[in-house]
Structures are given as C-alpha cells and as structure tokens.
Amino acid sequence: MNVTQLSLGDLAGNFLLRRQNAALKQSLTRLTNEVTTGRAQDSVSHLAGRLSTLSALERDLDLIGAHRLAVSEAGVQATSMQAALGQVHDSVAGLAETVGMASLVPGSAGRDSVTVVARQTLGTMLSSLNTQVAGRSLFAGTDIAAQPLQDADTLQEALRASLAGLTTAEDIMSAADAFFDTEGGVFDTDIYQGADTNLAPFVLGGGQTVRLDIRADDPVLKSAIKTAAVTSLIEDMAPNLASNEVENLFTAVTGRAVEDQDRLTQLRGELGFAEQRIDIRHVELASMQSNTEQARNDLLSVDMYQSATELESVQQQLETLYTLTARSARLSLVNFLS
C-alpha cells in the first residue's frame, strides 16, 4: 500500500517537473529570440490583442513588395531595350562613316567594302531588335513569344525583288520607301512578325506608370533598317546604274544614315527618360519599405533590459529545476530499492 502511494506521488511529481521544464524552455526560447532581435515573438500578447495597426503595416509592406517587383521588371526591360538600341545606333554610326569614306574612293573597291559593312550592320541591327530577355521579346509588342523580324537574307531577297530593274537613285529610294513605309506593305506583312499592339504600361505604384512600348516596326527603326538594307544592295544594283546614279545613291544613303543617327539618339533619349523614372521610383519604394519596416519594428520592439533580466531569471529557474529533478530521481530510486 505504501509502495503504491509513493509511486503515484513520484508520477505526479515527475509530471509537474516536466510541465515546469517545458514552460521554462518555451520562455527561454522566446526571451532569447527577443534579446537577439529586439522584437516581441508573441505579437498578440505584446500588443494586447490590438493588431489593427500591425495588420495595416503588414499590408503596406506586401503592397510595396509587389510594386518593387514590378519596378524591377520594368527596369530589366528598359535596360535591355536601351542596350539593344545602343547596338543599333552604333551600327548605323559605323555604316554612315564607312559610306562617307567609300564615296571618296573611285571605282568598285569602295562599293565592295560598303556592301560588306552594310550587310554586317543589317545583321547586327536585326539581331539586336530580336533580343529576348527571360524568354520575352523586347520589340514584338504584345506578342512577346514572337521573333519580331525576319533574318537579313530574307529581308535582302524581298527588297532586291522590289528594286529589280530600277535605274535611278531616286526611283530606288522611292521603291525602298514604299517597301518599308507603306501601311500593310511588304515590310509590315512579310518582314515584321510581331504584334501590331503595344505592351501595356508597367505599373509602378502610387498611380505611376511607364510605357516601354517601342516595337521593331517603329518608324525610326524601320528607317535605320531601310538605310542599311539599301546600302547592302548597292553593289548588286551598280551594273544597271550609270556612274552618276551610283554616286547619287551613295549620297542618298549617307544623308539618311546621318538622319537615322539623330532620330535614334532621340528615341534612346525618350527611353532614357523612362529609365530615369523607373530608377527614381525604385529609390522611393526602397525608402518607403525601410520606413514601414522601421514602424513595424518600433511597434513590436521590446524593452531589452527587461527581456535580458527575465532571461537571466528563467535560466536560474531552469538550473534550479534541473537540480530538483536530479534529486527527485535519486530519492525515487532509493524509495524503489527500499
């Protein structure tokens, strides 16, 4: 009878010690976290159940995070587009210089070098405008999966057919204008493969949006492509042209190449303004996030001195509990053996 009573007492005592041990360990974990982070682990208890302000701050942070993601995506798009347009601009500038120098060289030698450079330029331009980032075409409008432009060989063959038999520089440039600039013409139907609708503006938050909707069939880009394409065919057309008409054609494409540079500079400047707006918004959102996080931290901050004091007290209680547990275990063993 006495043995049974002692066993039940031991079990109850052991259960009580375990409960105290679990509670103290939980408090130890909480206080250690609070001393380390300076924030309350249990926000409900810390704020006495008044969570409306905390909830509002959390919603603000979620919204800011979504806006920052959109701004980052817009930044990648704008930077990539600027890089591609930079390659187009540099190619046109190089072509203008080459054509200008070749016009000073008599005979076909100058024309040969121009043809080679023009073909390389045309390939570079088309490749740049077909750039994709993360599987999305930059200059295809809403059809982001499409390659907006056919390759250089396809374009040259189509243009060559349109210029066949022409014998004056004026007629050649007029036919090239019709090929590229006529709405629903050869370029629009056979060369440009993207959508005829623009991408929707990127939403930057705070009522702000930014348009990054330059397409490969933009008039400025078509003009630059046209100049390179016509120049690449001068040597092919030369046998059917009088020498003065060849010179006139060189003069025409040189003038247009210079105009293309200026127009591309303006187009890149407009895109640069959009990049600047994106950068400014990025800084604004980073500041908003920092301020909101600080407000949330202030709301959940704890008294570090008080938490450290409580942590020390819990540690002492745990040490005492372990001592009592050890003694209880020894006493129980003695009672059991007796």
54 near 278, Cβ under 8 Å? no
Quote the distance between the C-alpha of residue 139 and its chain's center.
Answer: 15
39 near 301, Cβ under 8 Å? yes
In the numeric block, which tokens belong to residue 28?
């130890």
Please report, in angstroms and rounded to a whole number, the separation of the first and last CA atoms in the chain. 14
pTM metric for this prediction: 0.77
Residue 137's SS3 state is strand
147 near 114, Cβ under 8 Å? no
The predicted pLDDT at position 307 comes to 59
The predicted pLDDT at position 23 comes to 65
* pLDDT tens, position by position, 146-157: 999 999 999 999
Residue 169 has pLDDT above 80, yes or no: yes
Residue 277 pLDDT class (50, 70, 90 cuts): very high
* pLDDT tens, position by position, 217-226: 999 999 999 9
103 near 254, Cβ under 8 Å? yes
74 near 278, Cβ under 8 Å? yes
DSSP 48-83: TT--HHHHHHHHHHHHHHHHHHHHHHHHHHHHHHHH
Residue 331's SS3 state is helix
* pLDDT tens, position by position, 43-83: 666 666 677 888 899 899 999 999 999 999 999 999 999 99
Percent residues over pLDDT 90 in the chain: 59
Average pLDDT, the chain: 84
* pLDDT tens, position by position, 79-101: 999 999 999 999 999 998 888 77
Write the DSSP symbol of residue 301: B
H or E segment and range at residue 202: strand 202-205
The predicted pLDDT at position 156 comes to 97
Of the options 1.20.810.10, 3.30.70.370, 3.30.420.10, 1.20.1330.10, the CATH number for the domain spanning 57-292: 1.20.1330.10
Domain boundaries, the chain: 57-292, 306-338
Does residue 25 or residue 86 have the better pLDDT?
A: 86
- Cα torsion 189, 192, 196, 198 to 10°: value is 180
Nearest to 228 by CA among 138, 113, 147, 115: 115
Residue 6 pLDDT class (50, 70, 90 cuts): very low
Residue 296 pLDDT class (50, 70, 90 cuts): confident
Percent residues over pLDDT 70 in the chain: 74
d(CA 116, CA 137): 28
